[in-house]
Structure 1
């Protein structure tokens, strides 16, 4: 039974975060070299803009905003699940190597397979999922002990090691590739949001529409897994099956996100922690907040990065790393 006060508190934070996302989105759509200006965003959204303003807003800025928001939400939920099933507050799809596995798969696909422009956008999440899933399986295999089960500290350490190894593999792959393809992979590694057209939205949206409600449905099981294996088994939970199913969901969400945004880290680390600090550790309460916090954080990072340095800006992945890396070190020392 969740106390009514906590539910009311959660709703207030949800409304506040939604307002933050709207405000940040309007500012993000109204800043930049081309029209529309900040004062013209709302009139253009409601159909009172010029042809140029409508083209820039609806064909360039709005799809980028939606992609960024969806990707941040997916990474936040993925991080929440990973922290829940491993009982480790340092777990994050970018830190533990899942994003790196997706990146290697995308690099191999982009460099060595014939690309059909019509299906390329829709193939990326699937290719990224295969790479991320293989990475997650390796991490799980090396961090599992028959006697003690999944070992949370080893999970993070193996993930960090695998992430570094896969990053080295990416460098080897691009060192002998064409300049044009190297530029694309380098931008992906930096976390430069490159999927900024509406087809990319339609490519990842089905993954999120299926997986995020499923993860919310599994919130109570995550609560049990977060306690101890003995408690979970005592109430009749099949911990191996639940962990595998939830790990699969976390991998799929992270892969769908990074397939169009590049190597974004630390969103899945920070968003769950901020949400837990606001409403407590119950997954039913904090996961919806983490969803909105993750979307807002990545949207804010992209808005700052695009306008901080002219003309190309700073990739969102670098901005999130500048914020998230010190926070990771703080958690590491604290835990």
Structure 2
């Protein structure tokens, strides 16, 4: 399982692209928004469940239905995709809100937030896991231990800080031991004792339990400061959004359809073997959170405020001006 997921993660451009004719069909227009300024988009995506709405949109050609051809590249994390967005390598990228908000605040790239992807609910398997025989059984046990995260300073670190602080654990005794690695490599790294624990999300948590018998130590989005937390979404550069409003609206409508498909668990189960190379038996038992069909500035403000609370952002960032409201399916 880990090998298959890792192979999928390293796939390059065009992995989930639309048909070759998608960007050239008709005159590239949509009835609601008028002519598209650009019909081929370079987009960063991930293979985790939190990107399932977009992956379903890709698999069901909803982008092509809007006159868009998507050249998709699989990314390790939103944090690592932001330089590609800033340089213009990506027109749009999936990512976690922590990395987006930190990059915006630091002036790395001036962004617009164009769609939410996933809300992690309690027991939706964004969790810290350890080996089945590990002495790690509580947040306190992580002090001094090596913990795998897909990127430092991102959503993993914020959730860890919040949950550990709520459990009276000094994060300073943990932060220097964070080890960056791709999600698909974490379960094997725990098994081989390269790290003591890992913080990651389904489908990788379920795969780790199934393949190695790893245990969940604690939930990162359970009751407390991170419950029902907005994890991820899509962003573009401000100037790209301003120069291509009809294209952005078309992308949002296609994403909306994918998010609506993801509300049907059977659709996600059917898609996981295709985009995450997961066997159907594992897909049937993974935990799933929520796939929002709107982009809520108040919800995203919660992320920015929590970053200030846990000293990951120097000053408060007002999120509302960064948000581009989602259009309805037909407008």
Higher helix share: 1
Q: Report the TM-score when normalising by structure 2.
A: 0.26
Q: Report the TM-score when normalising by structure 1.
A: 0.25
Higher strand share: 2
